[in-house]
Chains A and B, each alone.
Chain A
Amino acid sequence: MESERPDQKKTKQLGEGEKTASGLMGRVREETAALKERAIEEAKTYKDPQDTQLWKSIFRVSHDRADPRNRSLAILSNVFLHLHPAKINRDATRYGFTWGMGGITFYLFVVLTFTGVLLMFYYHPQKVLAFRDILYLEHDVPFGKLLRNMHRWAAHLMVITTWLHMFRVVLTGSYKRPREFNWCVGVVLLVLTLLLSFTGYLLPDDQLGFWAVTVGTNMARATPMFGSEGPLGPQLGMTPFNDVRFGLLGGSIVDSNALLRSYIWHCIGIPLVASIFMAVHFWRIRKDGGISGPAPVMLESELKAVKKK
């Protein structure tokens, strides 16, 4: 319908070409006025963005703020928010209970992924090039220094917040039944967080990272049975050229291969595994009945005998 209109207008104008200019102008003015009217009418319907087709197609529900059903749907029908239940225990929103530490840790992981991808645009995991890329990033790339600093400090902060999160879980006894397994998933996440930091440390290929990784991987030499200098290692045929350290470094010294392996673990391997574990971690929080508290206190008189299975 609408697309036909300009055509009609055109044919009309062509047909009445000999008409006087004022007549033509009059018609144009008339049409413009009508169009304006239409536009105003239509704009009124856009006044509430939540009523637009675009909004509804994205969010699937209108957020009529007073309607409790919509508040639930706002959570349930959003892929990012549906990690949450629609409703939670009134006291569980108190900042003092969880300190928001798990959430902050996750947010830092997101920040690290974002800044990390940007860093990847400027970085070659190769001897000589790697160090130059960092210098380039610090001195020439717009906001490069800020980008590098942010990735660095977010990583340190993530280690701290993961510890504090774990500390909170201990203090509130949240590892107890039925959350034992999620605690174990958490321990794996802690280890992965530390490994992410460690693999990243080598990447600038400066003295700091090089020697830290040298010291770190030298310990791998001493792995019992699988290291060339560990107990039972030599007896099982381990040499510096086939033990675990060799596997980690892709060689017997920290060199180009080690840089490449570090890079791949840091940018692909560990983040991938960590994401999977985080997905399980969050899923289990829901399945275990949400955040553990603040729960009503239990009294000594309520202690039941241990169930015999």
Chain B
Amino acid sequence: MDWHQLWIIASAPDNVPIVAMLFLVPIFTWMGIRQARANDRLIVRLEGDTKLAKTHHRKVEPWRPGWAKELHVWPYLVRIEFLVTLIVTVILFVWSITLNAPLEEPSNPNLTMNPSKAPWYFLGLQEMLVYFDPWIAGVVMPSLIMIGLMVFPYVDSSPFGNGYYTIKQRRFALGMFGWGFLMWIMLIFIGTFIRGPGWIWFWPGQTWDHNTVVFDKNVDLHDFIATSAIGKFLHLGFLQSTAGKAIFGGLVVGGFYILGGLFFHWLMTRGGLDRFDGSLPLTRRLWLWITTKDKFESKLLARTSLLQYLTFQFFAVSVLLALPVKLILRLALTIKYVWVTPYFNI
């Protein structure tokens, strides 16, 4: 275990913000979840008690009759803002006094930095270059992510949870966001802590070896199948012809979209595991969760228009599913491309 190597990476001044995020993200996630839990409990209580639902002010925040509903912004909000700017300013001063911004040698086109890494918040993109060709990783995926984010409010047809923290009422939407967010952080983590010289995989604590030679042992899916024992047995050699691999790849990608769509369709109506009697054994509950639909989630799905549904499916399969699937194919099975045509490769 080479702690020194790990320390070099973690203490690089430009990486300090990620280390900070290791603390900030959990703290704020906890803050959100705590409030969501409180609201969820209130929702359960009010749903079981229609009378109370009519009179209760429907928030977990304390409230007493006679209290004004509104406050003056001056001073009650402005003073908070002022305090926050002061705190941020102090943090910035302390940070800037104690840690210096990096400055390397003057730029030199003849001396390649190895590894040559983008700033940490772009390492997700850079890491994607391992799994996709540059036109996908650098152009198509970022565009899809941006457009997908913009489209989200229009495809989330549920009116629940507008302006309050809740998990119970927004399981699927939060799950999808959470999944995307997690994947992004994971790519950044891999790019920062794991990739070394030559963009080779070094486990945290492994010493970077600048002399490691990259040898490309990756194969394309059609070759992988055609040259496997089964492929040889079934005489699938024709998959390696130009037309053969183009058609085969197209079928694989098409099949992926269909299976992916079915997967999300199934996932949409699952709901939480807590909808079953807690006294049942876990395996039984899991089985029921897999095989039965949640009523509430089904109701939400029924409100979704066809256009909303298809748009969501497109982005979900193309980004949220395609990325991890290609990542696993590459890392575990060393597959390079699944679809090879004379014009583009995926």
Contact = CB atoms under 8 A, between A and B. Distances in A.
A81 B100 CA distance: 35
A281 interface: no
A123 interface: no
Given A294-B163, A306-B303, A86 B73 contact: yes
B53 interface: yes
Interface of A is mostly: helix
Interface stretch (A4-12, A22-30, A217-225, A261-269): A217-225
Contacts of B75: 71
Given A107-B88, A207-B105, A215-B118, A93 B71 contact: yes
5 contacts: A90-B69, A154-B92, A173-B163, A297-B39, A299-B46
B257 to A, nearest CB: 19
A187 B154 CA distance: 14
Interface string A134-165: 11001000000110111111101101100010
Interface of A: 68, 71-72, 74-75, 81, 84-91, 93-97, 99-100, 103-104, 107-108, 111, 131, 134-135, 138, 145-146, 148-154, 156-157, 159-160, 164, 167-168, 170-177, 179-180, 183-184, 187, 191, 194, 197-198, 201, 204-212, 214-216, 218-224, 227, 229-232, 253-254, 292-301, 303-304, 306
Contacts of B238: none
B116 A104 contact: no
B81 A153 contact: no
Contact of B43 (A72, A103, A297): A297
Contact of A216 (B100, B122, B153): B122
A101 to B, nearest CB: 8
B192 interface: no
Contact of B59 (A88, A179, A297): A297
A290 B44 CA distance: 28
Given A206-B107, A295-B164, 14 more contacts: A68-B72, A90-B69, A91-B59, A104-B88, A111-B89, A149-B101, A151-B101, A152-B101, A207-B104, A207-B111, A208-B104, A221-B134, A222-B138, A231-B135
A172 B163 contact: yes
A109 to B, nearest CB: 12
Contacts of B66: none
B106 A206 contact: yes
B75 to A, nearest CB: 8
Contacts of A204: 103
B24 interface: yes
Contact of B162 (A108, A146, A157, A292): A292
B120 to A, nearest CB: 8
Nearest to A191: B146
Question: Which of B32, B57, B153 has the most chain A CB atoms inside 10 A of its CB?
Answer: B153
B159 interface: yes
Contact of B28 (A164, A208, A210): A164
Interface in B52-83: 53, 57-61, 67-78, 80-81
Question: Which of B70, B101, B166, B173 has the most chain A CB atoms inside 10 A of its CB?
Answer: B101
A153 B96 contact: yes
Nearest to A184: B150
B139 A160 contact: no
B230 interface: no
A160 B15 CA distance: 12
Interface in B155-184: 156-157, 159-166, 169-170, 173-174, 177, 181
Contacts of A159: 17, 121
A160 B16 CA distance: 12
A164 B9 CA distance: 24
Question: Which of A208, A210, A221 has the most chain B CB atoms inside 10 A of its CB?
Answer: A208
Interface in B93-110: 93, 95-97, 99-109
A215 to B, nearest CB: 6
A89 B69 contact: yes
Nearest to A148: B101
Nearest to A138: B103
Contacts of A107: 84-85, 88
A107 B99 CA distance: 21
B42 interface: yes
Interface in B1-49: 14, 16-17, 20-21, 24-25, 28-29, 31-32, 35-36, 39, 42-43, 46-47
B98 to A, nearest CB: 9
B117 interface: yes
A233 to B, nearest CB: 9
A250 to B, nearest CB: 16
Contacts of A72: 72, 74
B126 interface: yes
Contacts of A212: 116-119, 122
B67 A222 contact: no
